[in-house]
Structures are given as C-alpha cells and as structure tokens.
Amino acid sequence: MSESSVRLNVFKTYKLYVGGKFPRSESGRVYEVSDSKGKWLANAPLSSRKDARDAVVAARKAFGGWSGATAYNRGQILYRIAEMLEGRREQFVREVGEAEGLSKSKAAAVVDAAIDRWVWYAGWTDKIGQLVGGANPVAGPFFNLSTPEPTGVVTVVAPQDSSFLGLVCVIAPVIATGNTAVVIASEKSPLPALSLGEVLATSDLPGGVVNILSGKADEMGPHLASHQDVNAIDLAGAGPVLAKELEIAAADNLKRVLRPQPVDDWNADPGTSRMTAFLETKTVWHPTGSLGAGGSSY
Amino acid sequence: MASLFEYAPAPESRSVVDIAPSYGLFIDGEFTDAADGKVFKTVSPSSEEVLSEVAQAGAADVDRAVKAARKAFEKWSALPGSERAKYLFRIARIIQERSRELAVLETLDNGKPIKETRDADLPLVAAHFFYYAGWADKLDHAGYGANPRPLGVAGQVIPWNFPLLMLAWKIAPALATGNTVVLKPAETTPLSALFFADICRQAGLPKGVVNILTGYGDAGAALVEHPDVNKVAFTGSTAVGKAIARSIAGTDKKVTLELGGKGANIVFDDAPIDQAVEGIVNGIFFNQGQVCCAGSRLLVQESIHDELLDSLKRRLSTLRLGDPLDKNTDIGAINSAEQLARITALADTGEAEGAERWSPACELPSAGYWFAPTLFSNVTQAHTVARDEIFGPVLSVLTFRTPDEAVAKANNSQYGLSAGIWTEKGSRILAVANQLRAGVVWANTFNKFDPTSPFGGYKESGFGREGGRHGLEAYLDV
C-alpha cells in the first residue's frame, strides 16, 4: 500500500451560517450527528435562541439590499449557486448519502435535482411579476398596477427527512422573490444544510440573505415564530403539534404562515405556490387625467 | 464651435478578437461552403477595411439548413424544458464571458461606438438568453394553457443595426419554446452571428438546432418562402415586411414582423430641459439613429421651442464623432455606403423642401461612411423628413400648442413603434400615453430595453411582440 493510504484525513468542523459568516453557536453547545446506521459523523452546533435572534438581525439587515436588487441580478446569483453546487457535487453526494442512507446513485440523483431546482428558481426571479401582477382595468381614469413584493424576513423550518433537496426546495422560492431567510435545518441531518452555507457564501449571495441554523426546531421555533421582526414562517419541517404551536405564536404579529404541505416527492414540479406564499401585492393608483389643456389633474 | 477639450485617443484593443480570413455557413453544427461556392466580403464601415470573406447562401443552402433544423426539431422539442433551459443558460454565460470580444467584433463589423456595444448591446444579449432560458421549463405557467407546443422550424431574418441583439431576440425565445432555427443575419454584419455559432458549439448545443446562413436578401426570401418553415420572424424595413406578409399568404406559417418607425418624442413646456435634451439626443443619435424605434420626430411645445433648441444645439456640439473603437466616441460610422446614400438623399430632400438644416461643426473621417448629426427645424407634417423613416442621425423638429395637437401629430404616421413623453406631470404622461398609437411609450426616458419588457409596433411598424411573457406566443402553437 502506498503511504498516502495511511494518511489521516482532516475532519470538518461544521458551523452555522449567519450574516455571511460561519460562527459556532454562541451557546457553545453541540450535538452528535450520526448517519442512518448510527455511526458518528460530526458534532453540529446546537443553536440557541440567541443564535436565532442574531440570524433575524442579519436577515433584516440584508433585506433592503436583496429585495432592492434587480430580479435579473437575483436570478444570476441563484444560477451561480447552481454553478457552485455543480462543482461540489461529489461532496454533497457523499454528505446526502450519509445523512439519508442513500446509495451513491440515489444520492447523486437527489443532488442533481437540487442543483436543477436552483436553476428553476433562478428563472423565476424576473417572471413571477408578470404572472401574479399586472394592470387592473379599473372603471375610472386611473392607471392601476399591481406588483408583487417580498414580504420580508421569512423563518423556514426545513424538512426533516429530505435534508438537502427538501431544504433547497424551501429556501430557493423564499429568496428568489427578494425575501431573506432564517433556516432551521433538519435536526437529524443538518450537515448538508451547513455545507450549503459554504456554497452560498461563494455564490455572490449577499451575507444575511440566507442564515442557516442547526439544532432543535422545537427550541428555536417558538422564538422565531413569535419574533416581532419576522414577517413570515414556513412550517415545512414542523410536525403537527409544533406546527400548531408555531402558527399560534405567529399570529402575534400576523406573520404569513405556510403550513406543512404533504410532500411525497420533492422532485415533483414545485409550481409557484412556495413563492406566492411569501409575496405581498402592492397596487399603485395614478390619475390619467385628460388631454384638454385645463382638464388634467395630478 | 471649437471643442473645449481635446481628448487623447482611447481606443479599445482589437487584439481581444480574432477574425478568421473566411467563414462558411453554419449548418447542422458544421461550418460549410455555400453549395455554389459563392462568397462575399464584409467590411468595417468606419475604415472600409475588409474584415473577412463569408459564404453567400443560396436556395440550395437554405434547403439544407431547413432540413437540418427539421431533423433536429424532433429531439430538441422532446427534451424536458429544464434541459433546454440549461443549454440556454450555458449560452448566456458564455456570452457574458466573451462579451468584450463580441463587443469589439460588433463595433468593427457594424461601425457603432464601443461604448454602445460594450454597455448596451452585449449586456442585453446575455440578459435576453438568461431570461428566456428561465422560461423553457415554465411554459405551463405562461398563460397559454398546459403544455403549449412549439411550432417547428423558425426562419429568422435580422437587420444590421443590432446584429447580435436581434439574433438574441429571435433565437432565445425560439429555442426556449422548443423550436429549431435557421437565421440569416444582414449581409453587412454577418460576423457576430458566426461567432455565435461557435458559442453554440462551446455550449454543446445539439447539431442543427441553430443554423446560421450568411447572405443577401435572396437567401432571406428563400428562407421565408421555404415550404418546411413553420414560423417566420423578421426585423427590418416595412417594405420587405409587406413583401414577406404577401409571400406567406395562404400558408400555415406564423409570422412576426418588427419593422420601421418614425417615433415622436413629445416635450411639454414643464419638462426638465436638460434631462429632455439628453433623452432627445439618446433617442435619435443612439446607434447613429439607425434604430427602428428612434425618436426621429421631436414635437416641442411652442413656448419652449427656442430654449430647447438652443440647449439641444449646444449639446450636439459636444458629441464626439469618429473611431468607433474609441471609448470616448458618441457617434460612430453609418453601417454601409448604401445606407449613407439613403440618409444623404433624404436629408437633401428635407433641405430642398424648405426645412432648416443644421449640423454642429464636425470633421468627418476621410475613409468609411459618416454622416454628421443633423437637425431640421421649421419642419411641417407634410415634409418628407417628418414622414419617412430616415434611419440615420437626422432629427426633425416640429411644434405643437396643446396636448391634443401633440397626440394628433404624434399619431399622424403610418408607423406606430415608439414614442416619448417629457413632462413633470404624471397624469399628463398617462393621458398622452393612452392616446398614442405606439407599441412602446417611454416617459421621461428613451430607448430603454429589457428582456422582460414586450417590444413591438402598431400599424405598419409590424405585429407581434418580442420580450417578456408576451414574446413566447410568437413561438408557440397557441
């Protein structure tokens, strides 16, 4: 055997992704993450409610720039994420395989679908407006135009089982339209999500647009659901009991709530509902006046 | 007026682009000679230097290209939209990567200033592919019902004023919707389309999906009339557009025509003058006025006529005409000797008919095709320069007193492509825009383009829209 075969490999310290940086949990806590057969994989940060609050601050700070970027610019950045993921395909195939107990070929299919999902949403950034907005033919001399706008900071409880494809399927539609996100990764399998942070950090995505926390949804969830500076919450990965609790907490400041949807197959055509769930509609009126010299009005 | 400042030359380097001495037709993924071996030369309009020699397609080549496109159609249209999307995204990215090379190439072959190819043409080309790439897997959401089908083989004929941009407007939506294409660029600007062929190869696009035929009008006519073409898309003159409309009568071919214009740029007395002057200059001198949607008729409210004209003349005196590769150049070369002759003849007619002609002091280079920025005042609606599309850097100034009169004059044209409105008053913008019979109306801006925004004309400016969700319809069987 060659000498290199006895070389000790270097473990990766998995860290959170908040505000474009990679902090450990401020609590200093970690928890053990194992593969599907119970073999230890890594110690993941066990995020605290303080980490969650920091993530909201980062997401809020990033919202103005991200929502104000052109849709074309956002589309290019989402596409860049796909490009970066493609380059790290092998890493994710391994991590997803370990996390979800999938064969290499099945894990590869999952990763490929996740890459293509970024491409799908890259194309949506500058198209959703023409689908859900438009001129309204009001019965009066008015220009009247409705356009969608992002709702703000969105908390995403990521799916528990589909730790990577499901994760991408819930993050991408939130940020495609200009929202920023605070994501609670799959508790059992957070490693692909934490690695995704490394991809996002190198994809021209401004820091804070996506913030990824590992830990317990039922610990962080209630704080994020009742947080007064969070505008919406996607309960994709919350069980029925937690989902109800979080929906009640969310009512405090009337967060937009996307309830858990039964998803048999994250590969299926996602449609537009995950985008429209986190869009506001703004309607602008303006008088059209009349042509006569004295007849027009502001 | 003498120039206040002397500028040192600041030419963009030509070394970024490598033009081969000759090019073939791009058919079925290969460059090939024309069946009859004919070639023609393409020159740089700013110097008359021969840039390259390209194959001249004839009817036999058109047939070969249409057959290749037909053969490729079956597999291309059957690909999942998400896979077609990824090809188009690849093309968009390669265009971005090679955009400086393509900008220099386009400036050499077309004569337009590098600052336009670099800052307008190429970014828009890449954005157009990027935009339609995203539609390829979303056609079910486009409002045309479930699973809308492509038409088949698209025969596309494009002009010389925005060679690569018009290619993008044609090819991107066609491929996104699952059609295959045979495209003929204009005879004076064949090179960027041939470089695009190379980009298709880099992107791994299946053979026959895009075919490029360089040649003259006879090749364009043969393409349009080919019985196995399902869709005709043409951008160019209204005369040719009408001929195409006649030639496809009685067939099943779907057609979109983007033709001439005589855009009215209306300036009200409350408009911010300096901003309006910039918009007027951009409207008629962008790309030497060789723009179908140019604001070639300036309609000024009478009370500000003198003030506006003084400002406009002052501004025109600062425009820099010369080497298109110079980064400080505002006005480049006219695309061809033929076009220069047409502009010259129309301007002479304007003068003969009694309009008042003015140009800033402006030295024209000795080689190449050049025309100084020109302004006609005291123009009436009966003047030829107020009616005919000049397609050059020539602005006709008319006046009006009331908004009604402005609208009546603006609409008094066979064309209806673009219009501009300058006023601080929002309700007036919207009231006037409502009355204008034009496909694109710019308010307090001019010549703005975006892949998401539909573009196309009313009346004899053609029909169909390019860009946006609307642009998909032209390439779908709906």
**Residue B254: what are its φ and ψ, rounded to 5°?**
-85, 145
CB-CB under 8 Å, B434 with A120: no
Q: What is the dihedral of CA A18, A24, A26, A31, to 10 degrees?
A: 120
pLDDT at A1: 47
DSSP-derived 3-state class of residue B405: helix
pLDDT at A71: 98
CB burial class (10 A; 0-12, 13-18, 19+) of residue A39? exposed
Domains and CATH numbers, chain B: 14-259+461-475 (3.40.605.10), 264-443 (3.40.309.10)
Q: How far does the CA of residue A99 sit from the closest CA of chain B (Å)? A: 27
| B138 vs A266: CA distance, rounded Å | 17
| B345 vs B339: CA distance, rounded Å | 10
User: Does an H or E element contain B215, and which?
Assistant: none
Query: What one-character DSSP code corresponds to residue A15?
Result: -
Residues linked to residue A233 through DSSP beta bridges, in sequence order: A155, A257
| A157 vs A128: CA distance, rounded Å | 24
Residues in B touching A269 (Cβ below 8 Å):
140
Residues in A touching B99 (Cβ below 8 Å):
none
Residues in B touching A204 (Cβ below 8 Å):
none
DSSP-derived 3-state class of residue A83: helix
The residue assigned the tokens 């991107």 is B172
Query: What one-character DSSP code corresponds to residue B431?
Result: H
Question: Which residue, B322, B293, B327, is CA-closest to B439?
Answer: B293
Q: Let me know if residue A5 belongs to a domain.
A: no
The residues of A whose Cβ lies within 8 A of any Cβ of B are: 71-72, 75-76, 79, 116, 119-120, 122-127, 129-131, 141, 143, 269, 272, 286-293, 296-298
Assign residue B378 a region (left: φ > 0; alpha: ψ between -120 and 50; beta: otherwise).
left
pLDDT at A292: 63
Question: Which residue, B112, B108, B12, is CA-closest to B51?
Answer: B108
| A5 vs A12: CA distance, rounded Å | 19
Residues in A touching B138 (Cβ below 8 Å):
120, 123-124, 127
DSSP-derived 3-state class of residue B471: helix
pLDDT at B6: 77
Active-site positions of B read 258, 292
**Residue A243: what are its φ and ψ, rounded to 5°?**
-60, -45
CB burial class (10 A; 0-12, 13-18, 19+) of residue A20? middle
Q: Let me know if residue A151 belongs to a domain.
A: yes
Give me the CATH number covering residue A245: 3.40.605.10
Number of helices (H) and strands (E), helices first, in chain B? Answer: 15, 20
| A121 vs B391: CA distance, rounded Å | 41
Identify which of B86, B133, B141 has the shortest CB distance to residue A131: B141
DSSP-derived 3-state class of residue B278: helix
Residues in A touching B408 (Cβ below 8 Å):
none
- Please name the residue of chain B whose CA is at the shortest distance from the CA of residue A123: B134
Tokens of B152: 């088949």
Q: Taking the alpha carbons of B234, B235, B238, B240 in that order, is the dihedral positive or negative? A: negative
B446 and B284 in contact (C-beta within 8 Å)? no
DSSP-derived 3-state class of residue A105: helix
> How would you label B44-60 residue by residue, b for 16+ Cβ within 10 Å and e otherwise?
bbbbeeebbebbbbbbe
Residue A257 C-alpha from the chain's centroid: 15
How many Cβ atoms from other residues are within 10 Å of residue A283's Cβ? 11
User: Does an H or E element contain B104, and which?
Assistant: helix B99-110
Identify which of A129, A269, A296 has the shortest CB distance to residue B425: A296
Q: How far does the CA of residue B365 sit from the closest CA of chain A (Å)? A: 40
- Please name the residue of chain B whose CA is at the shortest distance from the CA of residue A293: B402
B250 and B234 in contact (C-beta within 8 Å)? no
A189 and A20 in contact (C-beta within 8 Å)? no
- Please name the residue of chain B whose CA is at the shortest distance from the CA of residue A120: B134
Q: Let me know if residue A245 belongs to a domain.
A: yes
Tell me which residues of chain B have a pLDDT lower than 70: 1-5
- Please name the residue of chain A whose CA is at the shortest distance from the CA of residue B93: A76
Residues linked to residue A284 through DSSP beta bridges, in sequence order: A145
| B473 vs A31: CA distance, rounded Å | 54
Q: pLDDT for A158-208, tens place per residue?
A: 999 999 999 999 999 999 999 999 999 999 999 999 999 999 999 999 999
| B463 vs B456: CA distance, rounded Å | 7
Tokens of B188: 């004076």
CB-CB under 8 Å, B138 with A124: yes
Q: Let me know if residue A145 belongs to a domain.
A: yes
CB-CB under 8 Å, A130 with B434: no
Question: Which residue, A118, A127, A22, is CA-closest to A71?
Answer: A127
Q: Which residues contact B403 (CB under 8 A, 6 or more apart)?
A: A291, A292, A293, A296, B268, B428, B431, B432
- Please name the residue of chain B whose CA is at the shortest distance from the CA of residue A271: B141
Residues in B touching A125 (Cβ below 8 Å):
134
Q: How far does the CA of residue B275 sit from the closest CA of chain A (Å)? A: 21
Kindly give the interhelix angle for B99-110 and B163-176, rounded to the nearest 10 degrees: 130
How many independent structural domains does chain A possess? Answer: 1
Identify which of B135, B138, B430 has the shortest CB distance to residue A143: B430
Residue A283 C-alpha from the chain's centroid: 27
Q: Let me know if residue A106 belongs to a domain.
A: yes
CB-CB under 8 Å, B431 with A296: yes
Q: Let me know if residue A208 belongs to a domain.
A: yes
Q: Which residues contact A20 (CB under 8 A, 6 or more apart)?
A: A58, A201, A206, A207, A208
B394-400 and B297-301 beta bridge pairing = parallel
CB-CB under 8 Å, A286 with B430: yes
CB-CB under 8 Å, A293 with B134: no
B153-157 and B180-184 beta bridge pairing = parallel
Intra-chain end-to-end CA distance of chain B, in Å = 58
Percent of all residues in chain A with a pLDDT value above 90, rounded to a whole number: 93
B369 and B325 in contact (C-beta within 8 Å)? no
Q: Let me know if residue A294 belongs to a domain.
A: no
Tokens of A101: 């107990």
Tokens of A233: 């919450």
pLDDT at A294: 52
User: Does an H or E element contain A241, and which?
Assistant: helix A240-250
CB-CB under 8 Å, A72 with B127: yes
Q: How far does the CA of residue B161 sit from the closest CA of chain A (Å)? A: 25
Identify which of B141, B431, B469 has the shortest CB distance to residue A289: B431
| B152 vs B477: CA distance, rounded Å | 9
Question: Which residue, A8, A81, A4, A51, is CA-closest to A216?
Answer: A51
**Residue B21: what are its φ and ψ, rounded to 5°?**
-65, -25
Residues in B touching A292 (Cβ below 8 Å):
402-404
Assign residue A49 a region (left: φ > 0; alpha: ψ between -120 and 50; beta: otherwise).
alpha
B173 and B130 in contact (C-beta within 8 Å)? no
Amino acid at residue number B99? S
Query: What one-character DSSP code corresponds to residue A47?
Result: -
Q: How far does the CA of residue A21 sit from the closest CA of chain B (Å)? A: 28
Tell me which residues of chain A have a pLDDT lower than 70: 1-4, 292-298
- Please name the residue of chain B whose CA is at the shortest distance from the CA of residue A143: B430
Q: How far does the CA of residue A194 sit from the closest CA of chain B (Å)? A: 27
Query: In terms of residue numbers, what domain contains A63?
Result: 16-27+41-287
Complex ipTM value? 0.94
A/B interface, count of CB pairs below 8 Å: 91
B319 and B285 in contact (C-beta within 8 Å)? yes
- Please name the residue of chain A whose CA is at the shortest distance from the CA of residue B83: A116
Residues in A touching B134 (Cβ below 8 Å):
75, 122-127
Q: Which residues contact B12 (CB under 8 A, 6 or more apart)?
A: B103, B104, B107, B114, B118, B325, B326, B327
Whole-angstrom CA distances from B462 to B19, B457, B459 are 35, 5, 6
pLDDT at A289: 84
Q: Let me know if residue A182 belongs to a domain.
A: yes
Q: How far does the CA of residue A298 sit from the closest CA of chain B (Å)? A: 5
CB-CB under 8 Å, A79 with B89: yes
The residues of B whose Cβ lies within 8 A of any Cβ of A are: 82, 85-86, 89, 127, 130-131, 133-138, 140-141, 143, 402-404, 407, 425-428, 430-432, 434-435, 451-452, 468-469
